[in-house]
Amino acid sequence: MSSQTGSHKDVSEKHLPSAQDSTAVAEVDENPFADPGIPHHEPRVQDIDERAAKRSERTVAMFFIVSMLATIAFIASFVAFPVDKIFYLFPLGHISALNFSLGLSLGIALFCIGAGAVHWSRTLMSGEEHVQERHPIAASPETKAAAIEEFSQGAADSGLGRRKLIRNTMIGALALVPLSGVVLLRDLGPLPEDKLRRTMWKKGLRLINQNTGEPLRPEDITVGSLVFAKPDGLEDDSHEFMHEIAKAALMLVRLEPKDIKDKQELDWSHEGIVAYSKICTHVGCPVSLYEQQTHHVLCPCHQSTFDLTDGARVIFGPAGHPLPQLNINVNNDGELVAEGDFAEPVGPSFWERG
């Protein structure tokens, strides 16, 4: 620490705390770390030079004038640009002329009001700091005593402590009355019953290609492709479409039968075509990213990964159980049909699932 040795002797006197001013000298003897108080207020150039103040005034006024012009520009663009006008602006690309001009002019109109006001306060309003005392938040002992006294009088007057019957029945009544509100919530929705356990699929129901709307045939499904299917009779514009497809959505791939490791999967497939629920067993996103080489499918929401060659076993990610498989076959017309509903509930698991 030799660098500090002697250093203080070489420092010019005026930097030493004791040399700063006469009041500080007295304080340093007492406590060198004492609060030196609010620094002396330095006037700004606008405080002493009227021309500088005038300049600031003009700057503020200029901001406000620009704001007015921008508002006029806003109205003009609203009238001038058709709503569907698109133009190219580097580097933003193709953008809506109306949105761009409205947003920019509104932004400038607002920003300039703010800039003017802030500049005004910083340059022309008093720059001197004020000091105000704080007062304790808690009440004085007298106030507290008086409040307690008032409260005791009120409490004694009510007789709540003495008349237990009134107190207890009142608590009972107040506790019960919100029940009406709870009961009213009953009709928010139906009871679950077995709604989550069954889907539209049943024996003999044909698989309809989601893209073509035609019944699927085994030859429509080539190796390496992923085909989405829905149950026959479920029309896109029907009332029940949304909640039925949310359970019944199906994906099909064709595997080499020798690649299928799971026995039941093989039994439920047709010529290597396997049909699995498209609804992820994690929280219900449609599983749709298919790796042709590994026959893994990945859910794009939370990356649960299922191995389609092994009973759709979960090989990575947060899903808790495999995708349910649909047992499929072909009918006499050579169309793919379901052999029945899924053997287990599709989608995310739930308490009663078992």
Partner 1 sequence: MSTKTETQSRGKAPAGERVADWADGRLGIYGGAKKNLRKVFPDHWSFLLGEIALYSFIIILLTGVYLTLFFKPSMAEVHYHGSYVPMQGVLMSEAYASTLDISFDVRGGLLMRQIHHWAALIFLVAMFVHMMRVFFTGAFRKPRELNWLFGFLLLVLGMFTGLTGYSLPDDLLSGTGIRFMEGAILAVPLVGTYMAMFLFGGEFPGTDIIPRFFAIHVLLLPGIMLGLVVAHLILVFYHKHTQYPGPGRTNNNVVGYPLMPIYMAKAGGFFFLVFGVISMISATFTINAVWVLGPYRPDKISTNAQPDWYMGFSEGLIRAMPAWEWVIPTGHTINFGVFIPLMLLPAVLGAIAVYPFFESWVTKDQREHHLLDRPRNVPTRTAFGAAWISVYFVLLVGGGNDLWAIFFDLSINTITWFVRIGFFVVPVVVFMITRRICLGLQRRDRDKVLHGRETGIIKRLPHGEFVEVHEPLPPEQLHLLTQHHQYEAAELPPAVDKNGVESRPGIIEKVRVRISRGYFGDHGQVPKATPEEYKEIMSGHGHH
Residues 189 to 218 in contact with partner 1, rule: CB under 8 A: 189-192, 195-196, 210
Least Å from the CB of residue 278 to partner 1: 6
* Residue 205 · residue 338 · CB < 8 Å: yes
CB proximity list for 241: less than 8 A, separation 6 or greater = 234, 235
Q: What are phi and psi of 274, to 5 degrees?
A: -115, 145
Place of tokens 């989608």: 347
Verify binding: residue 17, partner 1, rule CB under 8 A.
yes
Q: Considering Cα of 345, then 349, then 351, then 354, what sign does the dihedral take?
A: positive
Verify binding: residue 230, partner 1, rule CB under 8 A.
yes
Number of residues that bind partner 1 (CB under 8 A): 114
Least Å from the CB of residue 34 to partner 1: 7
Q: What are phi and psi of 342, to 5 degrees?
A: -60, 150
Decide whether 202 or 302 has the Cβ nearer to partner 1.
Answer: 302
Which 46-75 positions form the footprint of partner 1 (CB under 8 A)? none
Decide whether 252 or 319 has the Cβ nearer to partner 1.
Answer: 319
With CB under 8 A as the contact rule, the residue among 65, 87, 121, 148 that binds partner 1 is 121
Which span (51-59, 174-182, 218-226, 341-349) binds partner 1, by CB under 8 A? 341-349
Place of tokens 């007789």: 159
The C-alpha atoms of residue 269 and residue 256 are separated, in whole angstroms, by 11
Least Å from the CB of residue 28 to partner 1: 8
Decide whether 137 or 176 has the Cβ nearer to partner 1.
Answer: 137
Which span (99-107, 151-159, 161-169, 334-342) binds partner 1, by CB under 8 A? 99-107
- Please give the C-alpha separations between residue 60 and each of 105, 129, 246, in angstroms, as whole numbers: 19, 22, 60
The C-alpha atoms of residue 318 and residue 325 are separated, in whole angstroms, by 19
Decide whether 172 or 192 has the Cβ nearer to partner 1.
Answer: 192
Which 260-289 positions form the footprint of partner 1 (CB under 8 A)? 278-279, 282-286, 288-289
Shortest CA distance to 41 belongs to which of 126, 137, 163? 126
